[in-house]
Amino acid sequence: MSEVAILCVDDESIVLESLKEQLRRFFGDQFIYETAESVSEAWEIINDLVEEKVEIVIVVSDWLMPQVRGDQFLIEVHNQFPEVVKIMLTGQADGDAVARAREQANLYRYVSKPWHESDLMKTISQGLVDSV
């Protein structure tokens, strides 16, 4: 089992299932793949992974979610885990939200929905290389 994880956060379960399937197909068993349907669930998973001493290397987050928007979530992630690569995957984010995430969360990339699997996997791979 891997000691590093990729976390995907989106309020649509079908999106999460698709992301997890694509990640597993591309990266195989290199990572633990976690998904959360809300920011509060994401923080529970993050806390569990930290407790288990699993390093979170990538967070892929939607922007338009109930309670907490993706830019705010990624800013909070950055404040606690600045080394984590943060990617916003959404079709709904406004320019201000993306700019705020770039400035305050060190957003690595913004990827529009619907995404192309090869483009997203290339973005994640490059994010991993750039973070080393």
Whole-prediction pTM: 0.95
Token code pair at residue 8? 């995907």
What's the chain's Rg over C-alpha atoms?
13
Query: In Å, how far are 70, 107, 110 from 89, measured between CA atoms?
Result: 9, 11, 6
The predicted-structure confidence for 67-93, as pLDDT tens digits, reads as follows: 999 999 999 999 999 999 999 998 887
Taking the alpha carbons at both ends of the chain, their separation in whole angstroms is: 21
| Contacting residues for 42 by C-beta, under 8 A, at least 6 apart | 7, 9, 36, 59, 61, 73
Q: What is the pLDDT along the chain (132 residues), one digit of tens a residue?
A: 459 999 999 999 999 999 999 999 999 999 999 999 999 999 999 999 999 999 999 999 999 988 999 999 999 999 999 999 999 998 887 889 999 999 999 999 999 999 999 999 999 999 999 887
Q: Report the topology of domain 4-130.
A: Rossmann fold (3.40.50)
